[in-house]
Structure 1
Amino acid sequence: MFARSVTIVARPGARAASNALRARFSTQPALHNAAPAKTKTPRVLPDFSMDGKVCLITGGARGLGNEFCRAFVNSGCTNMAILDLKQTEAEDAARELVATACLNSDSKPEDFKIIGLECDVSSERSVIKAFNETMDTFGRLDSVVASAGIVENYSAFDYPFDRIKRLYDINVHGAFFTAREAARNMIPQGGGAIVLVASMSANIVNIPQPQTPYNASKAAVKHMAASLGVEWAKKGVRVNVLSPGYMLTKLTRTILEHDRELKKTWESLTPMGRMGEPNDLAGAVVFLASDASRFMTGTEIRVDGGYCII
């Protein structure tokens, strides 16, 4: 048995009709008629924007405080006071922040009003002075981050009293002075957001390094935020806590270069198996300082790679 051979002969005009039909229903436009592809503008939740807000960050010249400054600028903030222990370092940080913001962008230096101010957060008088200068410059204050803090590692028996006092003066009293002056200026204008920077150490005991006073100071900051959050809730001032885990700041990197085993220990105790990068905190601090967290107060957000879970 032989297979039949079939030959299809197109009728006159059939090929043209077929091509027209194919073109009509094709999802791909003809190349010669193709319009240039349009670039879609990413849609962003407006509540996360820091545009139009006046921000103040203590300890903003370096470390995590400086990272918070960058996060705010990247979220649209153009009015900011950077507070740090030395005036020159605060001013240098302000200039660098503006220069970086203008790099590879349409922004110009005159678009920003970022100032650097000297402030010793352990001194009530110094904090009041810095806030007064900020209000004189901007006329209002919307978001404040109390980031200035120190950590030291001594065993309980060996910790010098003057060092313990200094640590509490900066970490605890400094956070309180900062929050109080922020609220004092925010309440008359209808409210604002305060972020106190604590640590995962407010919840756990770090090992292998001994640091009891530090851990206790951060636990105090955490509960301070809860207490102030309740006290000022009906006055429009929100107070929340950001608690970082082990972060690879410039200082931490320098320390760990001489102690590789300590780095391995910290990483092995962290479920995600790594230390955090400073910019891992950017989203959390913007969330707490912006309108996106407007129904949150007295709350802690931990960014620790899961360390406190186990």
Structure 2
Amino acid sequence: MASLLRTTPTHLLRSSLVSSRRAALPFLQTRSQSNGPPLANTPVSNFKAPNAPSEEASALKDSNKPASFLGTTKRLPEFNLHGKVVLVTGAARGLGLVQAEALLEAGATVYALDRLAEPSEEFLRVQKRAAEELGTTLHYRQIDVRDVAGLNEIVKSISDSQGKLDGLISAAGRQQETSALEYTAKDANTMFEVNITGSFMTAQAVAKEMIRWGNGGSIAMIASMSGTIANKVHSLLPPPLLLPPPADHKSQGLICPAYNASKAGVIQLARNLAAEWGTHGIRVNTISPGYIATAMVEALFEQYPERKRDWPTQNMLGQLSVPQQYRGAAVFLISDASSFMTAADLRIDGGHSAW
């Protein structure tokens, strides 16, 4: 070998070594020639998610054997909510119901609490799907979160019947758009009773049961980006006389001082509950959505069409969110995927608050 090195020109030796490496590792040659991925990582066209394993497919047909494609032993098991009992307030419809369905898909047994005498038709669809497709159950309990005695009774009865309580998503809330100069004390107190005190008392009732069973748990409260920022609005006063008044100067933006204050309270409340209950293994976090295109907001756009035009321009993605975009956040916060996360605010607002 020494003589070969002494007698062979350097450029021929280098060429011989490269050729031998290419022969041993053909994917390197392919990559260098095509400047694309190696053969071992060829892109797959028309990719579709694989079917659930056969044992899960059969379990999905039996409501006594809950199954979940996501959360199996080989597929992100930390997201698995099988055997978990989770309460969701404000889940008769809207964002609360969408998040309840996500929890069901992850395998949880879900109890929806809402003040409506009857849940929405969409709720009935989700309830039917839970039993027939997801192998779990969705229940409904009517309660106003301001009824503290009734709330405690319902939460304890659920806990007793299930022998545990693992999670809560506090999504019950109230919104009212009124200028600060016109807000009444009665309306402001109602806002705070539902959004702050109602969330507080619900979390308290659930935490008592979690502590009673000694298994810890996770609580997620729905706050808002408006709990951190003041929504941009045009002046409610007419512009100077020298300038022509814009046609929409009184209606553009979102004017809800009590609501924003209540959501700020929810964020701070969660931090304090997390500090007190962490020793019991209870985590408390908040989700702060941006503008959501719900049925209620769509009706608002009919009254203020300029909002439908302008609101999407106020975030970095240039669009409004939909309730389905918060499904993953609910599962993440309730599951063990967020096991080291507490006293945090998960802001999902398309970058609105970061300008």
User: Per-residue CA shift, 1:33-69, capped at 9, x if unaligned?
Assistant: xxxxxx5768521111222110100000011111111
Q: TM-score, length-normalised on structure 2?
A: 0.71
1:143 alignment partner, one of 167, 179, 190: 167
Note if 1:209 corresponds to 2:254.
yes
Deviation at 1:282, TM superposition (A): 0.7
* Cross-structure match for 1:259: 304
| Contact in 2 for aligned 1:186/1:192 (Cα 8 Å) | yes
Q: TM-score, length-normalised on structure 1?
A: 0.81
Once residues 113 and 281 of structure 1 are traced to their aligned partners in structure 2, the CA distance between those partners, rounded to angstroms, is: 21
Residue 119 of structure 2 aligns to a residue whose secondary structure is helix
Note if 1:193 corresponds to 2:218.
yes
* Cross-structure match for 1:100: 129
| Contact in 2 for aligned 1:84/1:117 (Cα 8 Å) | yes
2:269 alignment partner, one of 220, 224, 248: 224
Once residues 96 and 132 of structure 1 are traced to their aligned partners in structure 2, the CA distance between those partners, rounded to angstroms, is: 27
| Contact in 1 for aligned 2:104/2:137 (Cα 8 Å) | no
Once residues 315 and 123 of structure 2 are traced to their aligned partners in structure 1, the CA distance between those partners, rounded to angstroms, is: 34
| Contact in 2 for aligned 1:59/1:149 (Cα 8 Å) | yes
- CA-based RMSD of the aligned residues comes to 1.8
Deviation at 1:83, TM superposition (A): 0.3
2:111 alignment partner, one of 81, 86, 95: 81
User: Per-residue CA shift, 1:152-180, capped at 9, x if unaligned?
Assistant: 11111101221111110000000100111
| Contact in 1 for aligned 2:91/2:172 (Cα 8 Å) | yes
* Cross-structure match for 2:3: none
User: Per-residue CA shift, 1:216-259, capped at 9, x if unaligned?
Assistant: 10000001000110111111110000111101112112221332
* Cross-structure match for 2:329: 284
Deviation at 1:115, TM superposition (A): 1.6
| Contact in 2 for aligned 1:98/1:112 (Cα 8 Å) | no
Deviation at 1:94, TM superposition (A): 5.3
User: Per-residue CA shift, 1:90-130, capped at 9, x if unaligned?
Assistant: 7x665432223466x4x5xxx43322101111221122122
* Cross-structure match for 2:35: none
* Cross-structure match for 1:298: 343
Q: How many residues align?
A: 265
* Cross-structure match for 1:247: 292
Amino acid of the structure 1 residue aligned with 2:111 = A
Once residues 131 and 150 of structure 2 are traced to their aligned partners in structure 1, the CA distance between those partners, rounded to angstroms, is: 32
2:80 alignment partner, one of 49, 73, 78: 49
Once residues 257 and 280 of structure 1 are traced to their aligned partners in structure 2, the CA distance between those partners, rounded to angstroms, is: 23
Deviation at 1:274, TM superposition (A): 0.3
Amino acid of the structure 2 residue aligned with 1:124 = V
Amino acid of the structure 2 residue aligned with 1:281 = Y
Amino acid of the structure 2 residue aligned with 1:99 = K
Residue 283 of structure 2 aligns to a residue whose secondary structure is strand
Once residues 228 and 87 of structure 1 are traced to their aligned partners in structure 2, the CA distance between those partners, rounded to angstroms, is: 31
1:59 alignment partner, one of 90, 110, 117: 90
* Cross-structure match for 1:122: 146
Residue 88 of structure 1 aligns to a residue whose secondary structure is coil
| Contact in 2 for aligned 1:118/1:130 (Cα 8 Å) | no
Note if 1:180 corresponds to 2:225.
no
Once residues 285 and 83 of structure 1 are traced to their aligned partners in structure 2, the CA distance between those partners, rounded to angstroms, is: 16
| Contact in 2 for aligned 1:56/1:82 (Cα 8 Å) | yes
Q: Given the superposition, is the C-alpha separation of residues 211 and 76 from structure 1 closer, same or farther in structure 2, using an over 3 Å criterion?
A: same
Amino acid of the structure 2 residue aligned with 1:98 = Q
| Contact in 1 for aligned 2:116/2:142 (Cα 8 Å) | yes
Deviation at 1:80, TM superposition (A): 1.5
Residue 246 of structure 1 aligns to a residue whose secondary structure is coil
| Contact in 2 for aligned 1:82/1:94 (Cα 8 Å) | no
Once residues 62 and 229 of structure 1 are traced to their aligned partners in structure 2, the CA distance between those partners, rounded to angstroms, is: 28
Q: Percent identity of the aligned residues? A: 34
Once residues 258 and 127 of structure 2 are traced to their aligned partners in structure 1, the CA distance between those partners, rounded to angstroms, is: 37
| Contact in 2 for aligned 1:60/1:66 (Cα 8 Å) | yes
* Cross-structure match for 1:32: none
Deviation at 1:136, TM superposition (A): 3.2
Once residues 220 and 232 of structure 1 are traced to their aligned partners in structure 2, the CA distance between those partners, rounded to angstroms, is: 18
Q: Which stretch of structure 1 is more off in the superposition, 39-48 or 61-70?
A: 39-48
| Contact in 1 for aligned 2:156/2:209 (Cα 8 Å) | no
Amino acid of the structure 2 residue aligned with 1:280 = Q
| Contact in 1 for aligned 2:220/2:334 (Cα 8 Å) | yes
Amino acid of the structure 2 residue aligned with 1:133 = S
Structure 2 stretches lacking a partner, 5+ long: 1-49, 53-68, 233-252
After TM superposition, the structure 1 = structure 2 runs for residues 144-183 of structure 1, keeping only pairs within 5 Å, are 144-183=168-207
Deviation at 1:213, TM superposition (A): 0.8
Residue 89 of structure 1 aligns to a residue whose secondary structure is coil
